[in-house]
Amino acid sequence: MSPVRPQRKIGRLSEIGRVATRHGFGYLVDRRRRDDRREPADRGRRLREMLDELGPTFVKFGQLLSTRPDLVPPDIVAELRGLQDDVSPFPFAQVREVVETELGLTVEQAFTAFDEHPIAAASIGQVHRATLPNGQQVVVKVQRPAAPRQVESDLQLMRSAARVVRERVRALDFIDAEALVEEFARSIHQELDYGNEARNAETFRRNFGDSEQVVVPKVIRPYSGERVLTLEYLEGAQFADLDLESRSPEERRELAYRMTDAWMTMIFRHGFFHGDPHPANILLLEDGRIGLVDFGLAGRLTEEDMTRLTRLFVDAATENVEALPRRLSELGLRYPKEREDELRAAIEDLYYRYYGSSLSEIDPIEVIREGLDLIYSLNLRLPSRFVVLDKTIATLGAVGIELYPEFNVFEVARPYARGLLADRFSPRRMSLRAQHEVRELAGIARELPYQARDVLEQARQGQLELQLRNPGLDDLAYHIDHALNRLAVALIVLGGLVGSSIVGVLAKEGPRVMGLHALSFVGFVISSLFGLWLVWGIARSGRL
């Protein structure tokens, strides 16, 4: 990958600064460290518009932020979920070049027909219909030629912007912006690798191999590569394009519940689920089955995740609210220990607000919104796999309500949750779990003497080190550094004033200015300038 040219990088940084200022985020390019904690009502809209104007990579970053309710306020999450990844298609000449480079064949050799006009276009690539030599209808997903270079360029700028946020925006101190950018870098690198999407599609197809309700297109491996993905063509209409007004309420309800049933199967039975149930990624096929497309984002839940979820369900069902924070912690939820009592009280409040209500009386979208408020207000940190799950269920709920206004995603999930409980507490499953835990304990007992010996050996050799981390120390060092700088300037000013006064009193000869000895006058002027500079710096920081 060739390095980004300095001139282009500077020009792009200037563009980002102008766009940020235009949308009311000028303090990001201000040299001062701001403590801007205001929350204007339209900040989410302004952020969405800014990311949209900055281009496709920033749009995708905004889409990632919309899946992080543990880091981003709920009002901004809601706005960022409106970001669209639609862009103008790139020329067919470039499509031809990528296809022929990846496949080692000309377009005419590989396909008997290839539609030059794409049926969909996004920031990473676009999709064309084509026909294989055996007559099979396929879709060919082709990556933009400049996509990897543009992504790397923008990632460098995002890393720079993350450092600026850390240094200058105190209101965002609780966000590890640099870690967030690195998470986005991993995500978009996976999206750039069409081989990863092909593997996801094959896993989904294998999991739904016996299904009579869900169809996953077959990956055509000989016609796929890192930048080209060829899939079996599914004949049907996107859910986004369905004419719902012409369908009866019963038909719309059936569509919503069948769609959600497919995702509940993925989550609770397969442990591997499609992470973007957008209506454009779900097809209603001509035979009435549901087809899935776009497999770049997928989530995975391990056996251990399922076991821990089961414990959480059991405690919730038996009203053991005291145990819920611990169960959430086992699932990977991170929260400040000093706020554990506050978290428990908030969970109890949310739990008893809905406890005893039937599912038909509960608004899933409102429950999810309240959950997001709780996550953000307590600065909770979610594992990435559950962030994808949260986004998936929230999107399912929204799409289901569009299809059928009385839709309730919890009603569809209930039998699956019951099945999960029955499966996890079956005699066979409990026997396997007991065997696994015995092996784990035996391994710990076997390793413990060796680990104790290693610690004692390090202590004997004087190599044992203890590291203490306090997140507040960095901020304390920052304040001490500023205070020492101001103290040094104040001492210089004081020394200058005292020295000038002594010269003015003792010096009897030499030139004078305004009745003062010239050296004394110069000293007073320099000290005054330093003094004004110090006062101006203190006033500028807003801290007297």
Q: Residue 425: its pLDDT value, please?
A: 66
Show the tokens assigned to 431: 């026997």
Q: Which domain holds residue 163?
A: 6-83+152-189
- Integer Cα distance of 305 and 393 in angstroms: 17
State whether 254 and 280 are in the same domain. yes
Tokens of 249: 């309420």
**Residue 495 in domain:** yes
pLDDT at 235: 93
| Judgement on whether residues 184 and 69 belong to the same structural domain of the protein | yes
Domain count, the chain: 5
Query: Is residue 290 situated within a structural domain?
Result: yes
∠ CA 400-361-388, nearest 5°, is 40
pLDDT tens sequence across 214-250: 999 999 999 999 999 999 999 999 998 888 889 999 9
> Where is pLDDT greater, at 245 or 498?
245
Q: Would you give the distance in Å from CA 426 to the centre of its chain?
A: 37
**Average pLDDT for 265-282:** 88
Asked whether residue 269 falls in the same domain as residue 345, the answer is: yes
Tell me whether strands 214-215 and 290-292 are parallel, antiparallel or unpaired. parallel
pLDDT for res 364: 60
User: Which residues contact residue 263 at a Cβ distance below 8 angstroms, ignoring those fewer than 6 apart?
Assistant: 273, 274, 277, 392, 396
- Cα–Cα distances (Å) from 37 to 170, 177, 469, 478, 540, in that order, read 8, 17, 27, 20, 17
User: Each residue of 367-381: pLDDT tens digit?
Assistant: 666 776 777 677 777
User: DSSP states of 503-518 as a string?
Assistant: HHHH--SS-EETTEEH
Average pLDDT value over all residues in the chain: 79
**Same domain membership, residue 337 and residue 415:** yes
H runs (alpha helix) in 461-517: 471-506
> Does some domain include residue 471?
no
Per mean pLDDT, which of 3-12, 355-364, 452-461 is the most reliable? 452-461
- Is the same domain home to 287 and 254? yes
Select from 313, 317, 311, 277 the least CA-distant residue to 293: 277
Select, from the ranges 97-101, 184-188, 336-340, 508-512, the one with the highest average predicted confidence (pLDDT).
97-101
Question: If you ran DSSP here, which 8-state letter would residue 275 be given?
Answer: S
Q: What is the DSSP letter of 121?
A: E
How crowded is residue 359: how many other Cβ atoms within 10 Å of its Cβ? 14
Q: Please state, in angstroms and rounded to a whole number, the distance separating the CA atoms of residues 162 and 175.
A: 10
Residue 221's pLDDT is 95
Q: Is 276 a catalytic residue?
A: yes
Contact of 124 with 192, CB cutoff 8 Å: yes
User: Measured in Å, how far apart are the chain's first and last C-alpha atoms?
Assistant: 50
Compute the residue count for the chain: 544
Confidence bin at 289 (pLDDT 50/70/90): very high
**What was the pLDDT predicted at 143?**
94
Give the helix, strand, coil percentages of the chain, each rounded to 5.
65, 10, 25
**Is residue 297 in some structural domain?**
yes
More confident residue, 153 or 543: 153
Cα separation, 310 vs 212, whole angstroms:
28
Q: Does 323 have pLDDT greater than 60?
A: yes
Residue 262 and residue 197 share a domain: no
The tokens for 308 are 């821990």
Top pLDDT among 88 and 358 is at 88
- Same-domain check for residues 102 and 208: yes
Euclidean distance between CA atoms 33 and 169, whole angstroms: 6
Helices first, then strands: H and E counts in the chain: 19, 13
Q: Are residues 79 and 98 in the same domain?
A: no
Whether residue 506 sits in one domain with residue 371: no
Summarize the confidence of residues 19-41 as an average pLDDT: 58
Query: Tokens 């966000």 identify what position?
Result: 175
**Residue 126 bridge partners (DSSP):** 121, 142
Q: Distance between CA 282 and CA 158 in Å, rounded?
A: 32
Q: At what angle do helices 177-192 and 194-207 cross, to 10 degrees?
A: 80
Domain end marker among 233, 262, 295: 233
pLDDT of residue 20: 77
Closest CA to 295 of 231, 209, 356: 231
| The amino acid at 290 | I
Asked whether residue 528 falls in the same domain as residue 456, the answer is no
Of 176, 204, 233, the last residue of a domain is: 233
Q: Is residue 469 part of a domain?
A: no
Helix (H, G, I), strand (E, B) or coil at 127: strand
Confidence of residue 36 (pLDDT cuts 50, 70, 90): very low
| pLDDT higher than threshold 50 for residue 37 | no
**In angstroms, rounded to a whole number, what is the distance separating the alpha carbons of residues 74 and 68?**
9
Task: Quote the percentage of the chain above a pLDDT of 70.
Answer: 77
Same-domain pairing of 414 and 268: yes
Q: What is the pLDDT of residues 393-441, one digit of tens each?
A: 777 877 888 888 888 777 777 787 777 667 766 677 677 767 777 787 8
Query: What are the phi and psi torsion angles at 296 (to 5°)?
Result: -70, -30
For residue 364, is it within any domain? yes
CA separation for the pair 101, 104 (Å, rounded) = 5
- In a shared domain, residues 356 and 441: no
For residue 29, the model assigns a pLDDT of: 47
In the set 276, 294, 305, 390, the catalytic residue is 276
Torsion of CA 204, 206, 209, 211, to 10 degrees: -30
Asked whether residue 313 carries a pLDDT value surpassing 60, the answer given is yes
Q: Which residues pair with 334 in a beta bridge?
A: 381
Is 77 domain-assigned? yes
Residue 2's pLDDT band (boundaries 50, 70, 90)? very low
pLDDT tens for 145-181 read 888 888 888 888 888 877 777 676 655 555 667 777 8
For the segment 197-215, the average pLDDT, to the nearest whole number, is 94
Q: Provide the pLDDT for residue 4.
A: 47
pLDDT above 50 for 38: no
Does residue 1 form part of some domain? no
Task: Check which CATH number belongs to the domain holding 107 and give it.
Answer: 3.30.200.20
> What is the DSSP track for 334-374?
B--GGGHHHHHHHHHHHHHHHTT--GGG--HHHHHHHHHHH
Kindly state the tokens that stand for 173.
């101190």
Q: Pick 99 or 442 by higher pLDDT.
A: 99
Q: Which of 27-36, 75-84, 520-529 has the lowest mean pLDDT?
A: 27-36
